[in-house]
Chains A and B, each alone.
Chain A
């Protein structure tokens, strides 16, 4: 088990290295392009040359990569062009805001999706099953930007119940979180619910469920003890991978509601050609995604005795 976790960690570090190298290469192999992005489009050749020299861009790329990697590892991501300050200063507070948004979303979405999925999968083909399935297809078909607009029109323009933006300009207001969270939950729960349903329905058809019923166990015990545990193995992985998806959804929602989070930061960096900020933000995003992947693998092993005791 320890060896397995160790292996996964080593593999994760290797993946991160590979990604950092690729990212560095595509972003910075061409020093002149970087200079142009930093200094703006109307810069003379001399200025660029001076900038390249001053910032060490005339050295070979691998020297620069090692230096960059060393800086990144020590927490120094360089200077943001747009925010005119160290990247880390903007990055961490934004990340914190997104963590709040994602945390609340998860806390609502996961229990909701699991409950609905189990209810649907328990009796495949029943009315409950069909309504849950159709509802989840419909909600996953509405892109986040579309539901953001539709919900804003409904709750802000027509009903006037909720604030339409979440910039938190008058201090921290929990009301402003409601719409973004609603949009994320609406789009995200369907997938988990459907996977849970499929997994539950499959488990309910297994012969060991028949054994449990014909052993004379009460239906409740069959579901709680025999079905649920096996049915949770597949959705667990899905839930962990959902974090990766959530990071995508967060970009849209944060942009739509002007929430000052990590997602909108990435987009700002991208649109403003803020190379160092984009590099840093991408590395952070990938790190989050890869570490949840590792957690998913380890958790899957723990849940599944067939792998745990090979």
Chain B
């Protein structure tokens, strides 16, 4: 699945405080990877933009000011439309800034849900084996038999486009892939002596799964999660582009690109800037994943 699955991971303490400490420590390690730092920078900047959108945004994302104003136009009221305006005269820059909120709200939640489901089933399938493994694999096979986007289209058509439904669709479509990865890692880990040691000391199933196995699978999973986050962002964009995304008033990068397609010959800025925005955010996550992988392979 993932190219070189590296189960050797940097150690970090358990518990929430430990998690925080290991994240800070991880960031220190990441400094040694230029690529990783660039990725982290991109993601961090977009996160700040999303968080402080109302403060940064020069104009309202929905105010209709001057249709088709090219980038740099100064309006009568003295505001500059840095990236131009769309067909309804809304400021493209402000819409991009608010659009980051949409993406950075739904993508992490959807990824997290997919991971939650994928990890539990993956651990169960890999550790228990036998019929549990068979059953889960068959189900995963069926879901994975659909071309991803066809699956999204079918799901969204059935349950309708909405934020919650996007999360559900992403979880449903991504969990089998995550399950496969976790299962593979578990199969590798479950024959380790420390698992046998836990078994011979009478540890419970959930203890073995979540305390003994999961933390040791975390290295490759973090890398995969970053990549998947990028992919979920693309998916949300694509759904918006195809008209299956969030309902209209919400600023959304995918639908911004879709709406401007017809006007691309005389107002290319309407399409270019949201396209660059989504690409840079996805690139951030992909580079971050690469950086983390590079570092985890080092020792």
Contact = CB atoms under 8 A, between A and B. Distances in A.
A293 interface: yes
B241 A145 contact: yes
Nearest to B42: A141
B73 to A, nearest CB: 19
Contacts of B74: none
Interface stretch (B86-94, B190-198, B206-214, B280-288): B280-288
B234 A143 contact: yes
Given A289-B147, A290-B145, A137 B286 contact: yes
Interface in B120-147: 141-142, 145-147
B258 interface: yes
A19 B142 contact: yes
B35 A134 contact: yes
A271 interface: yes
B16 interface: no
Given A15-B142, A248-B148, A137 B290 contact: yes
A114 to B, nearest CB: 15
A110 B264 CA distance: 31
Interface string B254-274: 100110110011001001101
Contacts of A198: 3-4
B164 interface: no
Contact of A282 (B154, B241, B280): B154
Contact of A270 (B3, B148, B154): B154
B279 A146 contact: yes
Contacts of A271: 243
B146 A157 contact: no
A144 B153 CA distance: 17
B99 interface: no
Contacts of A278: 154, 157
Given A18-B142, A149-B275, A273 B157 contact: yes
A132 B234 CA distance: 22
Contact of A143 (B260, B264, B265, B279): B279
A166 interface: no
A278 B153 CA distance: 10
Interface stretch (A45-53, A67-75, A222-230, A250-258): A250-258
A288 B150 CA distance: 12
B230 interface: yes
Contact of A247 (B150, B261, B265, B278): B150
A286 interface: yes
B157, B237, B286 interface centre (most CB from chain A within 10 Å): B157
Nearest to A287: B145
Contacts of A146: 237, 257, 274-276, 278-279
B149 interface: yes
B226 to A, nearest CB: 12
A175 interface: no
B147 to A, nearest CB: 4
A212 interface: no
Given A146-B237, A153-B264, A248-B147, A141 B272 contact: no
A270 B157 contact: yes
Nearest to B240: A145
Interface in A1-40: 15, 18-19, 22-23, 26-27
A247 B141 contact: no
B290 A267 contact: no
A301 to B, nearest CB: 18
Nearest to B35: A134
A145 B237 contact: yes
Given A137-B286, A164-B265, A145 B145 contact: no
Given A141-B283, A194-B3, A244 B272 contact: no
Nearest to A255: B242
A176 interface: no
A18 B264 CA distance: 44
Given A143-B279, A164-B264, A270-B154, 18 more contacts: A15-B145, A19-B142, A22-B142, A137-B35, A140-B286, A145-B275, A146-B278, A194-B3, A201-B4, A247-B147, A248-B148, A255-B242, A270-B157, A278-B157, A285-B146, A285-B150, A288-B147, A289-B145
26 contacts: A27-B158, A137-B286, A137-B290, A140-B286, A141-B286, A142-B275, A142-B282, A142-B283, A143-B282, A145-B238, A147-B275, A149-B264, A153-B271, A157-B264, A202-B4, A245-B147, A247-B149, A249-B149, A252-B241, A252-B242, A270-B154, A271-B243, A273-B157, A282-B146, A288-B147, A290-B145
Interface of B: 3-4, 35, 141-142, 145-150, 153-154, 156-158, 230, 234, 237-238, 241-244, 254, 257-258, 260-261, 264-265, 268, 271-272, 274-276, 278-280, 282-283, 286-287, 290
- Shortest beta-carbon contacts, A-B, top 6: A198-B3, A248-B149, A146-B275, A141-B283, A247-B147, A149-B271
